[in-house]
Amino acid sequence: MTNKTKSKIVVAKTMPTAQPSTGFWLVKSEPSVYGISDLKRDKRTLWEGVRNYQARNFMRVMKLGDRVLLYHSNADPSGVAGVATVSALALPDPLQFDKRSEFFDAASTKEQPRWSAVELAFETQFARVITLEELRAVVALSKLMILQHGNRLSVTPVQPVEFRAICDLA
């Protein structure tokens, strides 16, 4: 997610799924744009503005109640700042239809939307950010997608053991 705007959430049919949910996820956002403190204040938000097909497909398989680590990117320090819960399944991202939005997609139609968004609900803010360096130091996290060279996805699956290891660090 690179931009946060207020948008009206429209109830829509669930988007098709490509693979099963892991039950645990990591989403990245710059805290200056939308961070864990914003989610804590708002209680819920539509995770809109994701414009990568693989990240979009991950959102499309999320299930209600899946737990999500919120990672602050391009921050000092960068790292995991808290936990959210998927509170609404993937629906068409309304920003793709908004001509004023930087996320407008002229090729996307209401009948064939290209982009999806899920709703996230605040669960907890960690007392401190779990830094990238701390994550790299944990053997159980060696396969965590965010730690893989060249990974720039803003939405990635997390294995249950990885989720527990990160929460233990907090």
Residue type, 42: D
Catalogue all structural domains in the chain, each as residue range(s) with its CATH number: 24-169 (3.10.590.10)
> pLDDT at position 21, please?
76
For residues 98 and 57, what is the distance between their CA atoms, to the nearest angstrom?
A: 21
Residue type, 160: P
Per-residue pLDDT of the chain in tens (170 residues, 90 and over written 9): 544 544 434 333 444 445 667 799 999 999 999 999 999 999 999 999 999 999 999 999 999 999 999 999 999 999 999 999 999 999 999 999 999 999 999 999 999 999 999 999 999 999 999 999 999 999 999 999 999 998 889 999 999 999 999 999 99
